[in-house]
Amino acid sequence: MTTLTFKDIWKMQMHGIELFEKKESLTKAELLDIQDTIYRLQKKGLPSTKIIEALQKQNKKIAQRWKAERAFWTESKKFDTQKVGEAGEELEIVKYKVILSPHACEKCRGKSENGRKIFKNSDIAKAEYGHVPPFHPNCYCILIPVV
């Protein structure tokens, strides 16, 4: 399996459209800031629409609403997957699988072996993107424990 860095995933091509042009791709520091904002505002209980507005103002690269939305949903998915992993470790769960979204793309189908692949805690713990959902920006696939 190829290892994707945060840069790769943000520059990834999907449906033939380059999602983040080079001059607009986020730096690691910017991405960390975005993750921090999402985490902070979610903790405060703000709805997604408000968090997306805050992201639009925070970084001009994602000032357009669809870009801020994509950043929000992609990073939220990363948090969700991490939470599943943390809960799983506490419950001593060692296997996970992916529920594909109804319109899952080739990438997600491939990486999850059409939902049949068994993922481990070590897959979730990997720092880079692309080992577990989100497999790409705007990925709606869900990681669940296998009990």
31 versus 104: smaller Cβ distance to Zn ion = 104
Residue 132 sits in the site that holds Zn ion (CB under 5 A): no
- What are phi and psi for residue 65, nearest 5 degrees? -55, -45
Place of tokens 């497999």: 135
User: Which residues inside 19-38 make contact with Zn ion, applying CB under 5 A?
Assistant: none
Task: State yes or no: residue 141 binds Zn ion (CB under 5 A).
Answer: yes
Q: Which stretch binds Zn ion (CB under 5 A): 15-23, 84-92, 104-112, 118-126?
A: 104-112
Please state the closest distance from residue 98 (CB atom) to Zn ion, in A. Answer: 8
Q: 65-90 and 48-58 are packed helices; what angle lies between their axes, rounded to 10 degrees?
A: 120
The residue from 34, 71, 139, 143 that contacts Zn ion (CB under 5 A) is 139
DSSP for 17-64 reads EESS-GGGPPPHHHHHHHHHHHHHHHHTT--HHHHHHHHHHH-GGG-S
Site of interaction with Zn ion (CB under 5 A)? 108, 135, 139, 141
